[in-house]
DNA sequence: AGATAAGTGCTTTTT
DNA sequence: GCACTTATCT
């Protein structure tokens, strides 16, 4: 700790050792933001601040874990007591403690996207609305409107006026659906992702004693990636730190890329207004990238309106000039990327030092097939994650229902797997059971068996016995009850393995997934309930990385959307599909001219690279129905000065 | 409830 | 051109 002044530069040092009061750290890309936060935590702990009175809010749970691990290496084991995680995670923790105050039981379930869709479907049916027949928004659109209102803390009416100004939708019907959806969630006692934030904030706003308690507990609130906070998140931290004012916000308005989720970079722009006594520290010295890469990044972002002016100042010596490759089509692009990876590895780079970044998940499908064919090992962190796949969710519903009699979503999913059981019988069964299904007790299990259809009895009998055994298991060495892998084996045995085989051609793989998650559930969290909650709040990237852990993450090239690459860096970065319509995405631009968020996203992509940067831009793309048509190079690529990037056509085709 | 036939719409980004 | 949803029948 004595070397702090040598380890940190003057600005980082000032931020890490700042006194009390609000602090805004404007940390441009690669300027040691994480390092600064790590040392800030360490300094606070060293100064004798009790660890449990420090709250570190980050964008992924993994980021919090890594920062706290590094802080622990500096300041010792006491750091373990620091609260860290995403807003969703922290709100979840608070809500489990005080669920009753917002009208929930502590065991409330979390509805993921699929669950939410299903609930909206139910509601639409109930209200007799069919989105198809009359022009009514589809459930995805409805959910995104609801989410928008929740995250920006606006009445739904306002959002509808703004988003549907010239679309003739029946807004009063949309409002009805919204109400019914909320009512349905309340009936089932589930919260969706937005509810975690909304109710977390309600807890503080509507219960002065709770607010007071946590203000006393969290004397220091640190927020990473502050530019991507939304209205309720910023209110949450302002409220929590309102008394003592020890709020440290770290972020970079250039990197705000989640506006579509309600993030508002005005939160960071107006921080000084909301906290007039705030100290502002700018970190501009970039330790990550070569001057060539930084020069591109600076040019890319310079024209964007409304931003804190910052320029990345290079500290590293010069490197290679970044290269733009103009290729014919996606197939050539995939060939090129595979070749570049091969030669980089031949030059001594590890595959894990290389990342391929793209705007949207589907941009990577063609590349994935090419890499598999060429036996290049890769790790994809975008798209449908392990825990979102049907078979894993089926198995998780078994675990959920085994420990929570009130989890209706799990009940429907699990029992619905049995032969001859559909929505109708689920409804009548649930009613007959009186609104709960306690499988930890013999009466509960028998009651269910009694009302099942004959065809479903035998498989359920076996599962039921396994659940009984699960609950009768004496506490194991880690003082956890029940043996999850044994339970899951019995479930597979009873009927599920057969069902998988009937429905999927890759049934064996899926079965392996199911067993693997079972063993994770057994070992990973302190209790099974904790595990199930964590899983619900885990990002795809985190889930995939956890899976890859110990299986040679370093041996695999990373394939990721730019969004998921946020906060990360690699020695060699390849950006693919740098074409108009793809990056920037035509969907995001819509009719409006404003491409500033897409440009910020491109800026994020550029600044992930440490030493080597390649941007690939195909001239042709293939449409849905198999036609090929020309596409122009991305405006973001064209805007870069020709002196700073060399344009090439690969010669080996 | 589940199988089959006809009908649809068409990949942004994610906690 | 295909995947996914919805309607219809057994």
Rounded CA-CA distance A496/A463 in Å is 10
Question: What's residue A440's pLDDT?
Answer: 85
Rounded CA-CA distance A185/A190 in Å is 5
CA proximity to A26, closest of A44, A39, A14, A41: A14
Question: What's residue A133's pLDDT?
Answer: 64
Question: What's residue A3's pLDDT?
Answer: 86
Q: Which nucleotide is nearest to A422 (CA to C1')?
A: B1
Whether A625 CB is under 7 Å from strand B? yes
Rounded CA-CA distance A360/A560 in Å is 9
Whether A626 CB is under 7 Å from strand C? yes
Contact present, A59 and A567 (Cβ < 8 Å): yes
Residues A533-543: tens digit of each pLDDT? 988 888 777 77
DSSP A322: P
Per DSSP, the residues of A135-190 read: T---HHHHHHHHHHHHHHT--HHHHHHHHTTTS---HHHHHHHHHHHHHHHHHHTE
Contact present, A289 and A320 (Cβ < 8 Å): no
Contact present, A259 and A35 (Cβ < 8 Å): no
Question: What's residue A476's pLDDT?
Answer: 57
Q: Which residue lies nearest B11, CA-to-C1' measured?
A: A362
- φ and ψ at A547, to 5 degrees? -65, -40
Rounded CA-CA distance A599/A592 in Å is 14
Whether A624 CB is under 7 Å from strand C? yes
- φ and ψ at A383, to 5 degrees? 90, -155
Residues A628-650: tens digit of each pLDDT? 888 899 999 999 999 999 999 88
Whether A443 CB is under 7 Å from strand C? no
Strand A620-622 to A628-630 pairing: antiparallel
Question: What's residue A551's pLDDT?
Answer: 61
Question: What's residue A42's pLDDT?
Answer: 94
Question: Residue ranges of chain A with pLDDT lower than 70?
Answer: 1-2, 132-134, 474-481, 548-553, 652-653
Question: What's residue A652's pLDDT?
Answer: 57
CA/C1' separation A259–B12 (Å): 12
Q: Is the dihedral of CA A113, A114, A118, A121 positive or negative?
A: positive
Rounded CA-CA distance A528/A404 in Å is 11
Per DSSP, what are the bridge partners of residue A85? A57
Strand B within 7 Å of which CB atoms in A 578-597?
A: 585, 587-588
Contact present, A598 and A584 (Cβ < 8 Å): yes
Angle between helices A365-373 and A330-346 (to 10 degrees): 50
């Amino acid at each position: 700790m004595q070397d702090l002044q040598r380890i940190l530069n003057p600005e980082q040092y000032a931020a890490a050792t700042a006194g009390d009061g609000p602090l805004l750290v404007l940390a441009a890309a690669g300027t040691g933001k994480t390092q600064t936060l790590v040392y800030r935590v360490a300094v606070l702990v060293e100064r004798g601040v009790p660890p449990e009175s420090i709250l570190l809010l980050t964008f992924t749970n993994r980021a919090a874990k890594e920062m706290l691990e590094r802080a622990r290496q500096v300041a010792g084991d006491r750091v373990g007591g620091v609260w860290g995680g995403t807003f969703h995670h922290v709100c979840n923790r608070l809500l489990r403690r005080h669920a009753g105050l917002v009208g929930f039981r502590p065991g409330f379930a979390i509805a993921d996207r699929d669950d939410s869709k299903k609930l909206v479907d139910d509601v639409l049916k109930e209200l007799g609305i069919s989105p198809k027949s009359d022009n009514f928004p589809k459930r995805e659109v409805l959910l995104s409107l609801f989410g928008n209102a929740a995250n920006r803390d606006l009445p739904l009416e306002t959002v509808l006026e703004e988003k549907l100004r010239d679309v003739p939708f029946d807004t009063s019907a949309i409002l009805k659906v919204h109400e019914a959806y909320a009512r349905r969630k309340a009936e089932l006692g589930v919260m969706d992702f937005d509810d975690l934030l909304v109710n977390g904030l309600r807890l503080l706003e509507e219960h002065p004693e709770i607010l007071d308690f946590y203000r006393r507990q969290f004397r220091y609130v640190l927020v990473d990636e502050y530019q991507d906070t939304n209205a309720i998140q910023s209110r949450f931290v302002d409220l929590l730190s309102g008394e003592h004012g020890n709020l440290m916000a770290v972020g970079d308005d250039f990197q705000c890329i989640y506006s579509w989720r309600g993030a508002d970079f005005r939160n960071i722009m107006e921080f000084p207004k909301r906290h007039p006594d705030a100290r502002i520290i700018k970190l501009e010295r970039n330790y990550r990238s070569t001057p060539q890469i930084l020069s591109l990044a600076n040019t890319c972002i310079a024209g964007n309106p409304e931003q804190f002016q910052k320029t990345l100042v290079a500290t590293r010596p010069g490197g290679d000039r970044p290269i733009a490759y103009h290729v014919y089509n996606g197939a050539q692009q995939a060939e090129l990327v595979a070749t570049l990876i091969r030669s980089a590895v031949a030059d001594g780079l590890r595959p894990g030092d290389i990342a391929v970044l793209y705007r949207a998940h589907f941009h990577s499908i063609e590349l994935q097939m090419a890499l598999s064919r060429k036996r290049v090992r890769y790790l994809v962190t975008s798209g449908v994650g392990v825990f979102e796949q049907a078979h894993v969710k089926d198995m998780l519903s078994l675990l959920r229902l085994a420990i929570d009699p009130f989890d209706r979503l799990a009940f429907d999913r699990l029992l619905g797997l049995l032969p001859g059981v559909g929505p109708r019988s689920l409804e009548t069964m649930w009613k007959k059971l009186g609104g709960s299904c306690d499988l930890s007790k013999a009466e509960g299990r028998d009651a269910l068996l009694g009302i099942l259809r004959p065809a479903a009895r035998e498989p359920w009998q076996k599962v039921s016995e396994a659940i009984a055994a699960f609950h009768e298991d004496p506490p194991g060495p880690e003082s956890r009850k029940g043996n999850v892998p044994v339970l899951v084996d019995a479930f597979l045995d009873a009927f599920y393995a057969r069902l998988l085989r009937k429905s999927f051609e890759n049934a064996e793989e899926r079965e392996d997934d199911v067993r693997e998650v079972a063993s994770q559930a057994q070992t990973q969290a302190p209790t099974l309930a904790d595990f199930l909650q964590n899983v619900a709040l885990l990002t795809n990237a985190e889930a995939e990385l956890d899976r890859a852990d110990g299986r040679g993450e370093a041996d695999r090239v990373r394939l990721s959307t730019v969004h998921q690459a946020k906060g990360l860096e690699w020695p060699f970065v390849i950006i693919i599909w740098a074409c108009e319509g793809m990056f920037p995405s035509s969907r995001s631009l819509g009719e409006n001219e404003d491409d500033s968020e897409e440009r910020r996203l491109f800026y994020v992509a550029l600044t992930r690279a440490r030493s080597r940067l390649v941007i690939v831009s195909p001239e042709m793309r293939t449409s849905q129905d198999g036609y090929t048509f020309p596409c122009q190079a991305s405006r973001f690529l064209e805007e870069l000065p020709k002196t700073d990037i060399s344009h090439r056509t690969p010669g080996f085709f």
